[in-house]
Amino acid sequence: MKKLLVVVLALCLFIPAAAVMAEDDAEISFYTEEVPEAAAYVSTWVAEDGDWRIEFFDEDGGIKLMVVHRLGDNQEDVWEYAAALNEEKTALVSMPLGLHYRQDTVTNDWVENYYEDGDATFTINEAGKLLWSDAKEDAGKGLEFLKIGNFYGGRWMKGDTEVIFYDWYEGQYDIRLYQRGADGAILKDAILKGDYDPETDSIAAEGTFGEDSVAITFSYDEQRNVVWTENGESIVLEYSYLTD
């Protein structure tokens, strides 16, 4: 996904959000560090086996979000905007300014539409599922989103082994491990299946890596670095800047 676009949009969205805050500070709250209730939303949520995905980011002191809907035939619908906790601290409400675009995941071409009349609300029900009510486009109607953590799409290094949190499908993460030799040749390559636990914000993954059977728990430290725990030993991973 185009993280650069997220950053650019975040800068654009923060200005109108701050303006709304200045007009009526009592109406909504934009800062998660000041209102812990907002932090419950900051994660990745999926519906319909991952065909719908909502990612909430705690950036620049506020919440930005990206909604992705896989349409098939290499097409995706994407919405991006900012949100804030309402006065009752019971829901996230969208800022009116946003971006909706349809993109081709192969060519990366897209058709975009900026709007200033966004009207969306996000709530978490008693079962811990995220509900999305979009009064502008009625998108996401009837869907319940499951929390899967913010591991999605991350790439990390454990020595010479790279860990890539690939897709989430039918209740599990696909996690790729591969190890390269000095000449760049791949020595080991495997896809592990991982189950996410929302209570501990961790993934329990199992599989075979090379000739070894592995059982690994992935979690986060306080600096939001991924931690690899295996056989009682924990190692903090380094962020990977490698590309395929």
Residue pair 152/135 in contact (Cβ under 8 Å)? The answer is: no
Query: What local confidence, expressed as pLDDT, does residue 20 receive?
Result: 40
Using the structure block, give the residue that is written with the tokens 């509900």: 131
Query: What local confidence, expressed as pLDDT, does residue 32 receive?
Result: 59
Query: What local confidence, expressed as pLDDT, does residue 21 receive?
Result: 41
Q: What percent of the chain has pLDDT over 90?
A: 57
Residue pair 28/35 in contact (Cβ under 8 Å)? The answer is: no
The encoded tokens of residue 82 equal 């900012």
Strands (DSSP E) found in 48-91 = 52-59, 62-72, 75-86
Query: What local confidence, expressed as pLDDT, does residue 244 receive?
Result: 59
Predicted TM-score (pTM) of this structure:
0.77
Using the structure block, give the residue that is written with the tokens 């950053």: 7
Query: What local confidence, expressed as pLDDT, does residue 26 receive?
Result: 40
Q: What is the pLDDT of residues 171-192, one digit of tens each?
A: 899 999 999 888 878 899 999 9
Query: What local confidence, expressed as pLDDT, does residue 33 receive?
Result: 63
Residue 223 dihedral angles phi and psi, to the nearest 5°: -90, 10
Q: What is the pLDDT of residues 231-240, one digit of tens each?
A: 999 999 999 8
